[in-house]
Structure 1
């Protein structure tokens, strides 16, 4: 299928399991060590329900080169990539060389966690088409020339936040109404990482405003969302299955539902009644949807 600008949508493998839905990549992105998947959220692109998965690209020295967001059409099990870019001083676009550890999608506004650099905001309403050597440069590739074409979302703001900003997730009321708030959290090798709740920037208030902060006391936090009074956080454990933790009354409990190995961000999907997450390790990469019924949520 071609959309837009002649861009080709590519298939993903969709499998229903007793524990939910698994989406798997049907290309080198299953195993590549050039790109790593990180963030996730759900929104609408051109009116279609779409799952967004962020990736970062790094070199052998571990330096970030570029980032992108894979848009998965949930009804057709197809995907395309949108490259993230920043405007340069000379008017040329430059790669958004960030970790993109979490996503929060509000209408045409896409927020990405830029570890150590606050939260970056991108505009999905004005996607650009870039060709040739510029397309390769924005994806961090060494190739030059050619006929490659990429879609690009350009950064519109860089929001400072008084946290490490490793990941972010959205906030919903107990009946599934989305709120203009996000949870922003820190990945740390110790148990001192915190998760803050913030109002997102608006015309009246052009910065993130903190409303609450909690310290789960867990190492390797990877994602966080809130449904009503219940917070969910994900915790990775190298190549072992990840853990999902919940907090309803100020005490954190490990949920019996396991997460994928190398688990990352979390995203609530009230329309489908699913909690989405993903695994980052090569050969083990999966995008998993866990039904609300398994989490004791209405759906």
Structure 2
């Protein structure tokens, strides 16, 4: 299948048992150059689609580039879009951790750890070629990348917490709100989560509504549905932990998250909670049915 610009979709393996597991059928399953981080859902050309953010780094940890893999949930294929910044009329790679995503129509908000929230324009995706495509992907020298699709940053939104991850907020009846949860990854229990209203125009800023400290180490993602919060906690090479409930009374759920778990996304249409694992050879994008979590959709 071809996207309108002529870029091919690539297959993803999908298994359905007690969960829906998507796995990458390429070197991205084990590479140490690219790491998956954030996740959210939206409509891509009218089709229900998962967005998964990746960052590219050198082995010393220096960030080189970032991208979004858009996964067609029905056809189990994905398409990559590089993230870029325009400086003096020239595109540069977005060298951010991309720890979380919030997708609002053509506006994609990305957590740029320690550097606020970056907003990218999905309505103005460009096609680049040759050396420019390789450079925006963080690649050096010659390579096989002939063309690439690129989403360009529209704006940086300063936030006064670390912005490690980013998640959507829904009302009790499932109505998506123009709000997000932004949180901090810390190795101790001092990490904070704050809820913000998303600006409706370029004349507005993110407006903080509330914040709290759950007392959970190594938080990786958070979303809210009505009065229920969902928070992910990583545990190195062990399965991740999911915490659910009211923000002041979060309880550890019996259902494990993927090893090296990261961000969270709510899929109220499919009655599912999505997460993903970042570690090489253990990478999976996992949908957990609400019924397994004791949640009524």
Q: Does TM-score exceed 0.5, indicating one fold? A: yes
Distance 2:159 2:210 in 1: 13
1:153-207 CA deviation, whole Å, 9 max, x = no partner?
0000000001000000000012111000000000011110000000001128611
Displacement over 6 Å in runs of 4+: none
1:258, distance to aligned residue in structure 2 (A) = 0.3
Give runs of aligned pairs for residues 14-29 of structure 1, distance below 5 A: 14-18=14-18, 20-29=19-28
Shift of 1:73: 0.4
Distance 1:267 1:146, change over 3 A: closer
Q: What number of residue pairs does the alignment pair up?
A: 297
Alpha-carbon displacement from aligned partner over 1:198-247 (angstroms, at most 9, x marks no partner): 00011286111100111010110000000110111000000000000013
For residue 249 of structure 1, report the CA deviation from its aligned partner: 6.1
The residue number in structure 1 matching 2:48 is: 49
Please name the residue that 1:160 is paired with: 158
State the superposition RMSD in angstroms.
1.2
Change (3 A) 1:43 1:95: same
Alpha-carbon contact 1:133-1:146 (below 8 Å) kept = no
- Give how far 1:112 is off: 0.2
Stretches of structure 2 that go unaligned for 5 or more consecutive residues are none
Q: TM-score, normalised by structure 2?
A: 0.98
**Per-residue deviation at 1:147?**
5.8
- Name the residue aligned to 1:127: 125
Q: Which residue of 2 aligns with 1:228?
A: 226
| Alignment partner of 1:174 out of 140, 162, 172 | 172
Report the TM-score, using the length of structure 1 for normalisation.
0.97
Structure 1 residues not aligned, in runs of 5+: none
Q: Is the 8 A contact 2:117 2:157 kept in 1?
A: yes
Aligned-pair CA distance for 1:250: 1.6
The structure-2 alpha-carbon separation of the partners of 1:13 and 1:84, relative to structure 1 and needing over 3 Å to count, comes to same
2:289 maps to what in 1? 291
